[in-house]
Structures are given as C-alpha cells and as structure tokens.
Amino acid sequence: MARMGPTQRRSPTVRLLAGLAVTLSAVALYSGYTVRQLHGLEQLQAGIIDRNRADSLLLLRIQNNLNSLGLAMRDMLDGSEPYPLTAWQAQLRRIRTDLEDAVAREARYSSLPADAEQKQYLTGSVQQFWDALGRIFELAGSGKPAEARALIRLSLQARQEALSSAVARLLVQNNETEQQAASRVHEVYAGVERNVYLFVAAMLALILLTSLYLVHYNRRLFQEVDDLSGRRSELAQQLISMQENTFRSISRELHDDFGQILTAIGAMLQRAGRRLSNAADPAYADVREVQEIVQSTLEKVRSLSHALHPVVLDEVGFESAVDQYLPGFQKRTGVEVIYEKSGTGRELDRAVSIHLYRVMQEALNNVARHSQSRHASVRLRYLPDSVVLEVEDNGVGFKSPPGRGMGLVSMRERAGLMNGRLDVEKCDSGGALVRLTVPAAPEEAHA
C-alpha cells in the first residue's frame, strides 16, 4: 500500500461541504420554527386580540344603550313631566332595537367561551327587562300610572343596574384578556428576538470556526508551497549547474579531442597536397576538397564548442564573450544586432556571467526563431547597484501570453538564481523586450 507523503493532504472540500450542510440545515430549522411562531402570533392577533377589541366595542355600545335606558326611566319617574308614560314608547323601542342588535353581534364576536353562562344571563336579563317594561306600559295604558311608576322604581331600575354591572364585568374581563394576549405577543416577540440572537451567535461561531480552519489550512498549504518552491529552486540550480558542467565538458571534448583530430587530419592532408605538386592530378583535387571539408568541419566544431561553453567567458569575462558571440550569431542567422554598452564596466562573478550569457543567447535565439525580425538590439548597462541586460526586436511580438515557453521559463529560473528580475514586455513598435536586472555585488547571487 502506498504511503501518503508529507506534502499530501486531505482536501478540505468534504469538511467544508459538511459544514455547509449543517449551516443550511440550521437555517432551514430556524426558519421553520420562526415561521411557526409568527403564524401562531398571527392567529393570536386575529383570533383573540382583534375579536376581543370588536367585542369590547359592542359591549360599550350595549352599555351606552343601558345608560340611555336609565336616563329614560329617570324621566319617566319625574312627576314634573306633563307627558304620560306611554309617550316614551317610541324612544324605548329605538333603544331596544339597537340594544338587541348589539347583544346579538356581541354573542358572535365574544372571545370568552368560558363565560357563555354569563352571556346567556345577559341575553335572558335583557329579554326579562323588555318583558317587564311591556307590563309597565300595559298598566300605564289601563289608567294605572302610579302602579306603573312604582314598578319602574322597584323592579325595572334594578334590572337596568344589574345589566350595567354585568356588561362592566365583561368589559373588565375583555381588558384582562387583551392584556394577557399582549403579554403572549410580547413573549413571542421576545422568543423570536432571542432565537435571532442565538442564531446569529451560532452563525458567527460557525463562520469563525470555518475561517480559523481555512486560515490554518491555507497557512499549512502555503508553507508546503514555500517548501516546494525552495526545493524546486534548489533542484533548478542543481540542474542548471549540471547542464553548465555538461556543456563545459562537451565543449572541452569537442575543442580538445575532435579539434585536435581534425587539425591533425588537416595537417596530414596539407602534407599530402604538397607531395602532389601536379595540380592537374585528380588526386590533388580530391585532397584539396577533403582538406576544405575538414577545415569547414573544424570551424563548425569550434563554433559548436563556443556555443556550448565559450572558453573566453572563463578567460577574459562576459563582455569579451559577448563581443565574440554576436558576430557569429549575425553570420549564422542573418539578424543584424546593434550592441550598446553604458556605465563603468566591472568584473562580474563567474556564475552571474554564465547566467547573463545564457539569457542573452536564449533571447537572441527567440528573436531568430519567432520574431520574424531582421534587426535586434542588445544593451548592457552598468548601474551602481545592478547590471541590466536588454534584448529588443521590432518583430511580430507575442502571439500568446509570454512566460509559457520553456526558453522563458529557463530565463526566469536563471534570474531567480541570481536574485534578479526578468521582465518580458511588448514594445511600442510591436516587438518584444527582454530585460534582466541582477544585483551588482557577486555575493548577492547564487553560486
């Protein structure tokens, strides 16, 4: 079974999805509970408070009619009035119509089912009051006004006062019921508010825990990326160092071994040619042809050796290597190169010189292969704290975003090994500009 490496970590996706599911579940449960509470509050307001207020208004209407009855009975008992008792029948009939309508409506709107007995008592008492009043008007109509007034004083007023007391008690009960309903509404609102605070606190705690987890995970991930970047940089440095060593070895082999062999073959062919002094001899022409081929091959071997690792770079420095490389590049590619140097020259570290030289080679090779330009500029500037190398062309520029090719990746790696910076820009003329800036002090670059 394969073991998990130290940099292999479980993805936080599962945990984050689980946290999201918990959060959504909590939101759904809380929303359902809150909706249920609000629905109950709506029923409470519609079923109790609103009906109770309507019932209280009807009770006030009943009480107002009873007060009107009391005033009418007081006038009927007043002996100073010149009217007979039957004169109040029309007024009392209007009061009765309004009172019976109010009592019937109040019975439908009543929100106190436990007081049904008291409601029945009120309805029965009202009916008994009107029956007694009818008998009083019968006595008054039969010529017995004194007996009728006595019955009003002894019975009818007492019934009216009893009815007013019953209505007053119902009003008090309605007021108490309304206060209780208001208290329940306050409790519901307080519960909803408390739940909101708890929910917000839980969400904040969940967000805090998620944020802390993500911060911890990202810190660990960035640390691993930083470690990998360090190891990659070390590996790149080792690979480039091995590449340079390999190039140097191959260059030396080509220059020393193959160069000496070809030089020896050329000398032997030259001696053979001197022995064949007759130019008309076919063998003499063959020897001369072979000698030219050997000389051409020797030049190519030396050119290849110089391209792999210019010996002059180790012997006389970067500037002399550039002076020797550019003419050969122009002859090989047909690209005219304008070389400019500014600032006071200084001796560069060997590693810095190699990296500068390789970056210049790669940039010029890109010009020859991709830019379709026949002109290029190489500028070397010595600044007080840095050295700047620029390679510019006036070709077609970049057909894709720069930085994806292996050549540019290699140049960036070399810039990083020197603690430098590589900038690849598009020029106003449409071409490309490669600028390498490295520290001037040799100790600031990697060996």
Separation CA 42–CA 380 (nearest Å):
84
Examine the pLDDT at 446 and tell me if it is beyond 50: no
Structure token digits, residue 116: 């049904």
Q: Which residues contact 63 (CB under 8 A, 6 or more apart)?
A: 164, 167, 168, 171
Examine the pLDDT at 32 and tell me if it is beyond 70: yes
Work out the angle at residue 221's Cα, subtended by the Cα atoms of residues 215 and 222, and round it to the nearest 5 degrees. 90
Domain with CATH 1.20.120.1730 in the chain: 13-214
pLDDT-based confidence at residue 447 (cuts at 50, 70, 90): very low
pLDDT of residue 4: 43
CA distances from 122 to 143, 161, 162, 175 (A): 32, 12, 9, 18
Domain with CATH 3.30.565.10 in the chain: 310-444
Examine the pLDDT at 1 and tell me if it is beyond 50: no
CATH ID of 13-214, from 2.60.15.10, 3.10.105.10, 1.20.120.1730, 3.40.640.10: 1.20.120.1730
Separation CA 387–CA 305 (nearest Å):
27
Closest CA to 321 of 299, 352, 354: 354
Q: Beta strand pairing status for 421-426 and 375-382?
A: unpaired
Structure token digits, residue 342: 């500014």
pLDDT of residue 200: 81
- Arithmetic mean of pLDDT, 24-36: 78
Q: Does domain 310-444 have CATH number 3.40.50.720?
A: no
Closest CA to 342 of 405, 395, 388, 385: 388
Describe the crossing of helices 282-308 and 259-275 by its angle, rounded to 10 degrees. 160
pLDDT of residue 271: 75
* DSSP-based three-state secondary structure for 421: strand
Least confident of 28-42, 104-118, 168-182: 104-118
Separation CA 75–CA 68 (nearest Å):
11
Separation CA 322–CA 337 (nearest Å):
11
Separation CA 435–CA 425 (nearest Å):
8
pLDDT of residue 189: 76
Examine the pLDDT at 135 and tell me if it is beyond 50: yes
User: What pLDDT, in 10s, does the model give residues 212-251?
Assistant: 888 888 888 888 888 887 787 777 777 777 777 777 777 7
Record the pTM.
0.48
Residue with tokens 């967000």: 207
Least confident of 85-94, 126-135, 232-241: 232-241
pLDDT of residue 405: 60
Examine the pLDDT at 264 and tell me if it is beyond 80: no
Examine the pLDDT at 208 and tell me if it is beyond 60: yes
pLDDT of residue 388: 92
pLDDT of residue 378: 92
User: What pLDDT, in 10s, does the model give residues 165-193?
Assistant: 888 888 888 788 778 777 877 787 787 77
Examine the pLDDT at 292 and tell me if it is beyond 70: yes
215: left (phi over 0), alpha (psi -120 to 50) or beta: alpha
Least confident of 38-47, 135-144, 415-424: 38-47
Residue with tokens 């600044």: 383
Least confident of 62-71, 132-141, 201-210, 303-312: 303-312
pLDDT-based confidence at residue 277 (cuts at 50, 70, 90): low
Mean pLDDT of the chain: 78
Closest CA to 125 of 83, 94, 162: 162
Examine the pLDDT at 6 and tell me if it is beyond 50: no
pLDDT of residue 443: 45
Share of the chain above pLDDT 70, in %: 84
* DSSP-based three-state secondary structure for 209: helix
Q: Which residues contact 333 (CB under 8 A, 6 or more apart)?
A: 368
pLDDT of residue 389: 92
pLDDT-based confidence at residue 44 (cuts at 50, 70, 90): low
According to the 3-state scheme, what is the secondary structure of 346-402? Answer: CCCCHHHHHHHHHHHHHHHHHHHHHHCCCEEEEEEEECCCEEEEEEEECCCCCCCCC
Separation CA 282–CA 73 (nearest Å):
165
Closest CA to 356 of 419, 411, 432: 411
User: What pLDDT, in 10s, does the model give residues 331-349?
Assistant: 888 889 999 988 888 888 8
User: What pLDDT, in 10s, does the model give residues 62-86?
Assistant: 889 889 888 888 888 876 667 787 8
